[in-house]
Chains A and B, each alone.
Chain A
């Protein structure tokens, strides 16, 4: 009984046993469709020589990584983090320092960011998980503010000016290599990493680990009765989210060549939460779709009027009121209804 409850909780889009092909949950179909669209976009952008849009899409995917880490906490575990930019910014600064001062090595930068994200996540997680609900949100917010202000006032880290001069690097994969300066290669690399992160996290969320998180979200008090230590799981997912955010952040200086304390500010954390809610909470693909959509929208509307923040705000409110499960959630609900109808009349 609890096993079944957990299973149904873990994935709202789960359709139950059917033929081999439709075993793949609708949400994964959406992810595949998104991947195809992204590859199509890359081909078109490459053919027309549009480096700007490729790089804009790369940035959107990088921020999608941050949004995914928020979704792990908010969508799967029910923890609202208002300070996820702390780990994103940490990854960005660590990667920038490694690339600039140690060695221009992609793998070293990613490894260092992962390590830093894990350690910081462990410390932050122990502090934040002492409390629940709105206090958890406030503590995460406070931690990020403390970190951002410290960086803002540390001359060795460039203080308010940030760090520039992060070199563009060549990434080696055995005999192959690609250059972050080339918009298409770097876009494909980041797309690959995003897909890998999605697949890995989606698998994990479907595994017993994810089901336990879903149980915590549903009713944390009953989790110990099932024999699980909720605190440990919450800490683990917090560290996992920190690592995902740090890895996403590590890619930022490779794309833009600089880091600045604004990457850790509340604006970055808040945007990630908005992205998740507009895209679809608890779907993992929703944050990616949301990030691409909002980045494109900001870029287009921002050139049009200086009141772009109002436009984004209105979209956020509309999606909260009318699309309670976000864009992806609404799409899934439609797909779900259609597939049920299909099954009813074979």
Chain B
């Protein structure tokens, strides 16, 4: 192996003198994303989005005349595994850029590793606000919308569609559940909503009816929830059985109702509204072309993660072409303030905290019979949802 590396280096040096080496050598992008375990469906979308975009870029001649190569490693949704895999990609495979981390802890830990290795990374999935606020890093970019943008978008829509709504909050009783509720509550109160009460149910609750008395006594017109997975299934179906869904608008976090649990919720999901950065139903020509290509390649519709990951390759391509190289410092400069087009519309990378600014959408679920659709019922301009730059490190 050492011998071949030596030979390879010698060949590179020789070619490099002629200025041909960089044209022949592909640009390598490392992808550390969950390929096994609970988060594998998210990792699958990330993989499909990146592969589709890469195929298109390579067919059109690559970036700066160089082909793009993706190297996948399994994150296992565990930061301890993610850092080890990322280090391998940085030091052994010599990747030029890295992406794919899903678990927010993984993104933070891999971001720190990128700093120590002098490389750049981007996340397309992690939505913990910390990544681009108090724990921001000069080497980490986020092309997807963070939690704050999602709740700001939902609050904006709520203020317009149901001004001065009386809101009740029901969240799962753990740190993320509580902080998601707190963030939305703050955003909603700022836009004029009235809070009528809140309750936190243990994760994995079987029976939500014990909270229905409090809920009814508070007489809300809107219920906000940040439950996820099977908890949402039980909450919404039980509310439907008790007839509580009448005259009540249910809104929630973007992970509350997803493609994974919507089938089990069935009709009770009808009318649920959330704030999110993407819906496959977006009626722009760019998105229609993207959805058609995605369906053709993988026989399923893209979700938020697939779309954000697809858009990342466009971001990387635009930045490298602007910088003229993949050198870390010039590339970082090129990425800061960059605007690029994605199926979700134009995104802009804010220079101050490396958070992408994008239009946000209020999406309503239409569960009428067989097919479920995520209809776009409102658009919130990027500037209204982004919030202030809270990163002080750079």
Contacts and interface: CB of A to CB of B under 8 A. Distances in A.
Contacts of B130: 161
B105 A59 contact: no
B88 interface: yes
A260 to B, nearest CB: 4
Contacts of A258: 79, 83, 105, 108-109, 112
Grouping DSSP codes into helix (H, G, I), strand (E, B) and loop, the B interface class, with mixed when no group exceeds half, is: helix
Interface in A40-92: 48, 51-52, 55-56, 59
A262 B79 contact: yes
A264 B104 CA distance: 17
A267 interface: yes
Contact of A309 (B2, B36, B73, B87): B36
Nearest to A295: B84
Contact of A299 (B72, B78, B88): B88
A11 B109 CA distance: 43
Contacts of A59: 84
A153 B178 CA distance: 10
Contacts of B59: none
A181 B115 CA distance: 13
Interface in B182-220: none
A159 to B, nearest CB: 4
A263 B112 contact: no
A20 interface: no
A164 B135 contact: yes
B253 to A, nearest CB: 15
B36 A56 contact: no
B112 A152 contact: no
B175 A152 contact: yes
Given A153-B175, A258-B79, A309-B36, A164 B109 contact: yes
Interface in A235-281: 256-258, 260-263, 267-268
Interface stretch (A2-10, A187-195, A300-308): A300-308
A149 B105 CA distance: 15
* Interface residues on chain A, size class: 20 to 34
A260 B109 CA distance: 9
Contact of A160 (B2, B72, B80, B176): B176
Interface string A218-247: 000000000000000000000000000000
Contacts of B325: none
B92 A52 contact: yes
B176 A257 contact: no
* Interface residues on chain B, size class: 20 to 34
A296 to B, nearest CB: 12
Contacts of B179: 155
A162 interface: yes
A133 interface: no
Nearest to A161: B105
B174 interface: yes
B105 A260 contact: yes
Given A52-B88, A52-B92, A307-B36, A302 B175 contact: no
Contacts of A165: 112, 135
Interface in B26-65: 35-36, 40
B128 interface: yes
Interface centre among A153, A306, A309 (most CB of B within 10 A): A306
Nearest to B130: A161
Contact of B87 (A55, A153, A267): A55
B4 interface: no
Nearest to B174: A153
Contact of A267 (B36, B78, B113, B176): B78
A279 to B, nearest CB: 20
Interface string B63-76: 00000000011100
A154 B78 contact: no
A181 B209 CA distance: 55
Interface string A126-161: 000000000000000000000000001111000111
A164 B105 CA distance: 9
Given A161-B128, A260-B105, 4 more contacts: A52-B87, A52-B88, A161-B105, A306-B72
14 contacts: A52-B87, A153-B174, A155-B179, A160-B176, A161-B135, A164-B112, A256-B113, A258-B79, A258-B83, A268-B80, A303-B73, A303-B85, A303-B88, A306-B74
List of 10 A-B pairs having minimum Cβ-Cβ separation, nearest first = A306-B35, A52-B91, A159-B175, A260-B79, A258-B109, A153-B175, A260-B105, A162-B105, A262-B78, A161-B105
